[in-house]
Amino acid sequence: MVELVFMLAASSLGVLAATILPYLRKKWEGKIESFDIKYIWHLVGTCVVTFAVDIVTYSAWRPPTEFILNDVFILILAFAFGYGGNNGQKGVEKWLRTFQTLSKGIDTIDGG
């Protein structure tokens, strides 16, 4: 059970890193001037999805106990799930926005 808590904490750090780093880059480049609440909503949404993946992974598979760096391996895996889950969610959001834009364009062509 302690491993699961560490796994969820590591995946949260992965999500946090994947959310905060682009924000800091955009802030440094001057593209944004103030904090937008969308970063928080994105962070929460990705954490929920990543927690679900972590729990399923934790309950279905565990590395062998004789592995010396077992806990470190689990933490690195969870961090990767968090970081990758964040990027996956961004990809889905972009795809949905593109789909909505295309459907609006079709409506205007049809006269709708």
Collect all residues with Cβ–Cβ distance below 8 Å to 59 and sequence separation of at least 6. none
3-class secondary structure, 1 = coil
Task: Give the residue numbers spanning the domain of 15.
Answer: 2-110
Q: How far is CA 49 from CA 15, 40, 44, 75, 109, in A?
A: 10, 14, 9, 17, 37
pLDDT value at residue 68: 60
Contact between 14 and 79 (Cβ < 8 Å): yes
Of 40, 36, 42, residue with least CA distance to 90: 42
Residue 56 has what pLDDT?
83
Mention every residue, 6+ apart, whose C-beta is less than 8 A from residue 18.
46, 82, 83, 86, 87
Structural domains in the chain (count): 1
> Dihedral sign, CA of 3, 50, 15, 70?
positive
**Which pTM value belongs to this model?**
0.64
The answer to whether the CB of 42 falls within 8 A of the CB of 89 is yes
State residue 76's pLDDT score. Answer: 80
**Residue 19's pLDDT is what?**
80
Q: How much is the pLDDT for 39? A: 76
pLDDT one digit per residue (tens) for the chain, 112 residues? 777 787 788 888 888 888 888 888 888 888 888 777 877 887 888 888 888 887 887 777 766 666 666 777 777 877 887 788 777 777 777 888 887 777 776 655 555 4
